[in-house]
Amino acid sequence: MEKIAIIGGGIAGMEAARRLLQLGHEPVIVEKSDHLGGHVAGWYKLFPDMMSARELVEQLAAGLDGVTVYYRTRVANMNRLGSGYSVMLSNGVNLQCGAVLISTGFRLFDASRKEEYGYGVYDHVVTNSDLEAWLGGAPDYRIPDNPASVAFVHCVGSRDLKAGNPQCSKVCCMTAIKQAIEMKEKFPQADIWCFYMDLRLFGKKYEDFYIAAQRDHGIHFVRGRVSEVSEDIDGRVVLKAEDTLAGTPVKLSADLLVLMSGMLCNEDTQSLARMVRADVDSDGFMRSRDNIYRINESNRPGIFFAGACTGTKTVPETVGEARAAALDIHNYLSGND
Amino acid sequence: MIDFGFGLSRSSSVKLDEVDLGLYHKLEALEPGVRVCMSCGSCTSTCTAGPWSGMSVRKLILNLQRGKDVEKMLSCCMLCGKCTMVCPRGINTRHLILSLCRIYGKKQ
Ligand SMILES: Cc1cc2nc3c(=O)[nH]c(=O)nc-3n(C[C@H](O)[C@H](O)[C@H](O)COP(=O)(O)OP(=O)(O)OC[C@H]3O[C@@H](n4cnc5c(N)ncnc54)[C@H](O)[C@@H]3O)c2cc1C
Ligand code: SF4
Ligand code: SF4
Ligand code: SF4
């Protein structure tokens, strides 16, 4: 039985570990935080089925009986050793592995970097991630008790060369619509506005959400990017945008502003890639051998990828890749490529 | 359709294959950045002159791409450069306006 180091215990790492265990291997999860599930552990409900995120993480965790998980642990160093890798951990443990799976996921864009939106400055500005936590029951003093209007700003830190991220984060149009509906259900009197540049609703059932948002919930959609936000004397946020379809500048006073922070490359990508001489892509994410057929493979033998470490991914894409990576690793270790 | 040689009103439909893009091509040569505009409207919404004068860099670019004349709009710009600060595609819109003035043979 050969050990396989899984770096990152988000849903990608969990699903891959579960499958590798089933295939008779010995996966070891190295997780830098104090919990499994990664970002998904912080979400409330998952589109498109509105499945409980916590239930998904619990389900995945249930399949990890017998898997060693090191929490609050990082990889200190990794070296090629024979046909495998020697992985030195920050807790002093040294793993001799036949293969390594990198499943370190992504980092959420720090919304305070877009100063024009006032995150951390104005009283009633939160991010998509903050709103998920609040929907899940965490108190948040920034969210008013009975808002008359709530505005969502798409593409915060995504599709933005000035923020250094030209890529589309893919999940935030859906997240905005999902959260808009959730807010409308909580506050039926409120007007809910989505300011978007393009609506990217590519997945199965995604367009249904858009139709439901329009037809059943009366969510307002404005095609224009919010260029600046200020605060009025009552503490309401005042947004400026152009309604590009009508061709007129518009203003909106809202009681709550929700910023759709984007998905960026993990902050450890560079250092991990350097240890094993794997390639980093132009967008800062790990570089797969190609983006069509070999997404799970790196340019180095025995180093595999799964999930959002190679680019923005949805949950179904992430778990699908994790399964594929488990099979790839199994075949690699069995010598049938 | 039979052409009777007359009509009651002219069609507003633009024949895209027939429009003259000469002006746009001249601008493209000076300001290649103009090609990546994604019509997000940030420039227009942040423009101080916009709500009063109708100034809109987004419309300016789009009109040029559709072969329309934009000379009138140029005089509405104060060259303050706010639009350049907000453009997510990093287009130097202020410089673009100056280049366009040069093409029209104007001094600002
Ligand atoms: C606001 C928001 C809402 C979303 N909602 C949905 C939804 O409803 N439906 C949907 O399909 N998708 C949704 N997504 C996308 C979803 O979050 C991702 O698909 C998913 O998190 C990817 O999982 P992952 O395991 O690849 O990465 P992550 O969730 O980022 O997990 C990575 C794990 O690796 C650990 N790690 C990182 N670096 C290291 C290191 N150097 N060493 C050790 N451990 C490390 C991290 O601590 C973390 O536990 C949403 C995304 C956002 C931003
Ligand atoms: S998914 Fe939508 S909100 Fe997110 S970056 Fe892409 S276009 Fe913008
Ligand atoms: S430079 Fe001209 S177009 Fe741009 S914001 Fe200033 S006045 Fe408006
Ligand atoms: S801000 Fe830039 S990308 Fe957006 S419409 Fe204006 S010029 Fe185009």
Check residue B14 and give its pLDDT: 80
Q: What are phi and psi of A223, to 5 degrees?
A: -90, 95
| Separation CA A268–CA A167 (nearest Å) | 19
Residue nearest to atom 2 of ligand 3 (CA): B77
Q: Do A149 and A17 belong together in one domain? A: no
Ligand 4 centroid distance, CA of A120 (Å): 26
Q: Do A167 and A309 belong together in one domain? A: no
Contact check, Cβ <8 Å, B44/A160: no
| Angle between the N-to-C axes of helices A206-215 and A172-186, in degrees from 0 to 180, rounded to the nearest 10 | 40
Last residue of a domain, one of A210, A244, A262: A262
Q: Do A287 and A252 belong together in one domain? A: no
pLDDT at A19 over 60: yes
Determine the structural domain holding residue A169 and report its residue range. Answer: 109-262
Shortest CA distance to B47 belongs to which of B19, B86, B20? B86
The verdict on B50 touching A (C-beta cutoff 8 Å) is yes
DSSP of A146-189, one letter per residue? S-SEEEEEEEESSSBGGGTB-S--SSHHHHHHHHHHHHHHH-TT
Half-sphere exposure of A116 (CA within 13 A, CB side): 21
% of chain A exceeding 70 in pLDDT: 99
pLDDT at B108 over 80: no
What is the distance in angstroms between the CA of the first residue and the CA of the last residue of chain B?
49
User: Tell me: the pLDDT tens digits for A170-227?
Assistant: 999 999 999 999 999 999 999 999 999 999 999 999 999 999 999 999 999 999 999 9
CATH number of domain containing A318: 3.50.50.60
Q: Do A114 and A198 belong together in one domain? A: yes
pLDDT at A1 over 80: no
User: Tell me: the pLDDT tens digits for A106-140?
Assistant: 999 999 999 999 999 999 999 999 999 999 999 99
Domain count, chain A: 2
Contact criterion met (CB below 8 Å) for A238 and A229: yes
Ligand 1 pocket at CB < 6 A: A 7-13, 30-33, 38-40, 43, 46-47, 74-75, 103-106, 108, 128-129, 132, 171, 175, 263, 266, 268, 272, 307-308, 313-316, 318
| Separation CA A263–CA A281 (nearest Å) | 15
User: Tell me: the pLDDT tens digits for B2-21?
Assistant: 777 766 787 888 888 889 99
pLDDT at A230 over 80: yes
Contacts of B59 in chain A (CB under 8 A): 247
Q: Do A246 and A199 belong together in one domain? A: yes
Q: Do A126 and A254 belong together in one domain? A: yes
Structure-token pair, residue B67 = 């072969």
Average pLDDT score over residue span A305-322: 98
Average pLDDT score over residue span A156-163: 95
For chain B, the structural domain boundaries read: 19-104
Check residue A2 and give its pLDDT: 82
So what's the ipTM on this one?
0.88
Check residue B11 and give its pLDDT: 80
What is the distance in angstroms between the CA of the first residue and the CA of the last residue of chain A?
19
Closest ligand to residue A158's CA: 2
Asked which of A144-148, A155-159, B103-107 is least confident by mean pLDDT, the reply is B103-107
Check residue B40 and give its pLDDT: 97
% of chain A exceeding 90 in pLDDT: 97
Interface test with A, best of B36, B37, B38, B42 (most A CBs within 10 A): B42
Last residue of a domain, one of A241, A262, A283: A262
Q: Do A241 and A192 belong together in one domain? A: yes
> Helix, strand, coil % (nearest 5) of chain A?
30, 30, 40
Cα–Cα–Cα angle for A134, A139, A140, rounded to 5 degrees: 75
Check residue B6 and give its pLDDT: 67
Q: Do A93 and A136 belong together in one domain? A: no
pLDDT at B107 over 60: no
Closest ligand to residue B34's CA: 4
Last residue of a domain, one of A199, A233, A262: A262
| CATH number for the domain formed by residue range(s) B19-104 | 1.10.1060.10
Could you tell me the CA-to-CA distances from A280 to A67, A288, A308 in Å, in that order?
Answer: 29, 9, 13
Q: Do A141 and A14 belong together in one domain? A: no
DSSP of A194-246, one letter per residue? EEESS----STTHHHHHHHHHHTT--EEEES---EEEE-TTS-EEEEEEETTT
Closest ligand to residue A178's CA: 1
Strand partners, B62: none
Q: Do A127 and A243 belong together in one domain? A: yes
Strands (E), B18-104: none
C-beta neighbour count of A291 within 10 angstroms: 11
Average pLDDT of chain A to the nearest whole number? 96
Ligand 4 pocket at CB < 6 A: B 37-43, 57-58, 61, 86-87, 89, 91, 93
Question: A28 falls in which pLDDT band (50, 70, 90)?
Answer: very high
Interface test with A, best of B44, B63, B80, B87 (most A CBs within 10 A): B44
Average pLDDT score over residue span B45-59: 92
Q: Do A231 and A283 belong together in one domain? A: no
